[in-house]
Amino acid sequence: MRFRLSEVSPGYLLLAAGLLRFGFILFSGRLNGEEYWEYGQLAENLLAGKGYSFPFVDENLHFLPGQLYPSALMPPGYVFFLLPFLLIKESLIRNFLLFSLQAALSLLAMKFIYRWAEKRFEKPVALLILLLQALYPELIFAVTTVGPTVWFHLLFAALLFGLAEKKHPVLIGILAGLLVLMRSEAILPASLLLLTEFVATRRNTALVAAFTLVLCLTPWLIRNQLQFGKPMLSASVGVNFYRGNNPGQMGDWPVLPEAAEKQFRSLPASYESKVDSAAMSSAIGWIIENPSDFIFRLPEKLLRFWWLDWPDPRTRHLLYMLPWVFCLPLGIAGLWMKNFEGRRQLLMLFLSYTAIVLIFFPQARYLSLIKFFWFVPVALGLKELWTTAFPGSKFLSSRP
C-alpha cells in the first residue's frame, strides 16, 4: 500500500512541530539569555514606575544608567506581553516559560493556517503547508527570539481565517488592532485586507472592523499626542527612513551628528520626536540631492530582502540559506498557479512588506514575519513539481 500524505493527521504534525520547538528550547542554549532588546528596556522601566521610557546611549550604543526619556520607539503590544515574565527573577525559568508560551502561539498560528488552507486547496496541500511550517529551521528558532514575530504569525493567520470564515467584524477589528500594536508597520497589510472586504461588498463588516481597529489604537495614539504633540504609531519612522536613505551605508547608525544629539538630549521630553523629525528631514534632503542614488539602491534593497541580507552574519548560516534556496523559487511558482484562492490576500502581505523595505531598508526579521505565510505558495509549487516529476506517485494525491 502506497503512503499518502493525506492519511496523516494534522494533529500528529502539530505534535511533531511542538516537540521540535520544545527540544530546541531545551537544548539551544538560549534559556540563560538576559537580552530582551528594546522591549525589555521599556518593560523594565514600566515595572520600575518610570513610565514608558527608554535610556539614552553613549557613542558605543551602551545604555546610560538613570538617563531616560519618554518613548514611542516600539508599540506597546509585545512590551506588555513581556511584563509578567520580567517579574520572574530566575532567567532560566523566565525564558523557559516565555519561549514555551511562544511555541504554543506558533502552533496555534499553524492550526489557523491549516484550517484556512484546507477549505481552499486539496488536503495534501494543506498538510504540506503544515509540514513545511513544522520543520522549517527559522520558524523553530523564532520561538526563542524576544520580539513579536510569533505574535505576528498568529494574529495575521487569525485575521485571514476570521475574514474567510466571516467572523464577527468586532473580532476582526480587535485582531487587526493587536497586530498593529505588535508591529506598527502592519497597519499597511491590515488596512489593505479591510479595504478589499469593503470593495468586495462586505462593507458593513469592513467599516465595523476598521472602526474597532481605530478604537484599539486610540489609547496609544492619545498617549503619544499628549506626550509628543502628534498621534503617531511609532517614533522611529524618520530614523528608519534615514537608515535606508543616507549618504553612508544602508542601515547606518547613529543617524545624527554628536553635536545635534547632545542638543536634543538637553530636553528629554521631546528628544525622541525631534531626533525622528531631524532624521526624516535629513533623509528627504539626501533623496532630493541624490535621486539617482536613491533609485539605484532599490534593487539592492529588494535583493537583500527577498534573497539574502548579506551584511547580516545570521543570514549566512547554512540552515538559513539552504532551505530558502528551494523555498523562494517554489513560492514564486506557486503564486502563479491557477485557481489560487487567497492569493490576493497573501500578495497584499508580501507586497506590503516589499514596499516597506523599499521605502526604508531591509532587515532579516521583516522576512521572518512573512516567511510563515510564504509556505502556502511553496506547497502549491512543490505539489506541482512533484506531480510533474513523479506522475504515478500517490504521496500528494488526495484520491483513494
What's the number of domains the chain is made of?
A: 1
pLDDT digits (tens, 9 = 90+) for 342-380: 899 999 999 999 999 999 999 999 999 999 999 999 999
- Asked whether residue 37 is domain-assigned, the answer is yes
- Reported as a pLDDT band with limits 50, 70 and 90, residue 400 is low
Rg (CA), the chain: 22
Q: How many CB atoms are closer than 10 A to CB 325?
A: 11
pLDDT above 90 for 396:
no
Which pLDDT belongs to residue 339?
77
- Reported as a pLDDT band with limits 50, 70 and 90, residue 395 is confident
Residue with the larger pLDDT of the pair 230 and 152: 152
- Asked whether residue 109 is domain-assigned, the answer is yes
**Cis peptide bond upstream of 254, omega within 30:** yes
Residue with the larger pLDDT of the pair 2 and 70: 70
pLDDT above 50 for 1:
no
pLDDT digits (tens, 9 = 90+) for 59-68: 666 788 788 9
Which pLDDT belongs to residue 21?
98
Q: Within 13 A of 284's CA, how many CA atoms are on the CB side? A: 8
Which pLDDT belongs to residue 142?
97
Task: Tell me the DSSP string of 3-67.
Answer: --GGGS-HHHHHHHHHHHHHHHHHHSS-TT----HHHHHHHHHHHTT--SEEEEE-TT--EEEEE
pTM score of the predicted model: 0.95
Which pLDDT belongs to residue 266?
86
Q: What rounded mean pLDDT belongs to the chain?
A: 92
pLDDT above 90 for 188:
yes
Q: How many CB atoms are closer than 10 A to CB 1?
A: 5
pLDDT digits (tens, 9 = 90+) for 107-116: 999 999 999 9
Percentage of the chain beyond pLDDT 70 is 98
**Distances from the Cα of 249 to the Cαs of 129, 152, 189, 291, 295, in angstroms?**
38, 29, 28, 16, 15
Give me the mean pLDDT over the 300-319 stretch. Answer: 93
Of 140-149, 216-225, 321-330, 338-347, give the lowest mean pLDDT range: 338-347
Residue with the larger pLDDT of the pair 201 and 14: 14
Give me the mean pLDDT over the 173-186 stretch. Answer: 97
Q: Within 13 A of 233's CA, how many CA atoms are on the CB side? A: 18
Which pLDDT belongs to residue 87?
96
- Asked whether residue 223 is domain-assigned, the answer is no
pLDDT above 70 for 181:
yes
Residue type, 227: Q
Which pLDDT belongs to residue 198?
81
224 by Cβ neighbours in 10 Å (0-12 / 13-18 / 19+) ranks as buried
- Asked whether residue 98 is domain-assigned, the answer is yes
Give me the mean pLDDT over the 259-270 stretch. Answer: 87
- Asked whether residue 387 is domain-assigned, the answer is no
For 69, the enclosing helix (H) or strand (E) is strand 63-70
- Alpha-helical (H) ranges within the chain are 10-27, 37-47, 76-86, 91-118, 123-135, 137-142, 149-164, 169-182, 187-199, 203-228, 237-244, 258-265, 268-289, 291-306, 318-335, 343-359, 364-389
pLDDT digits (tens, 9 = 90+) for 6-27: 888 999 999 999 999 999 999 9
> Is 230 in contact with 273 (CB distance < 8 Å)?
yes
φ, ψ of residue 96 in degrees (nearest 5):
-60, -45
pLDDT digits (tens, 9 = 90+) for 22-48: 999 999 999 999 889 899 999 999 999
Percentage of the chain beyond pLDDT 90 is 78
Which pLDDT belongs to residue 59?
67
For 63, the domain range is 1-118
- Asked whether residue 225 is domain-assigned, the answer is no
- Asked whether residue 366 is domain-assigned, the answer is no
> Is 217 in contact with 180 (CB distance < 8 Å)?
yes
> Is 197 in contact with 344 (CB distance < 8 Å)?
no
Bridge partners for 69 per DSSP:
54
Task: Tell me the DSSP string of 345-382.
Answer: HHHHHHHHHHHHHHHS---HHHHHHHHHHHHHHHHHHH
- Asked whether residue 131 is domain-assigned, the answer is no
Question: Rounded distance, CA 151 to CA 365, Å?
Answer: 13
Which pLDDT belongs to residue 272?
92
- Reported as a pLDDT band with limits 50, 70 and 90, residue 169 is very high
Question: Rounded distance, CA 138 to CA 317, Å?
Answer: 11
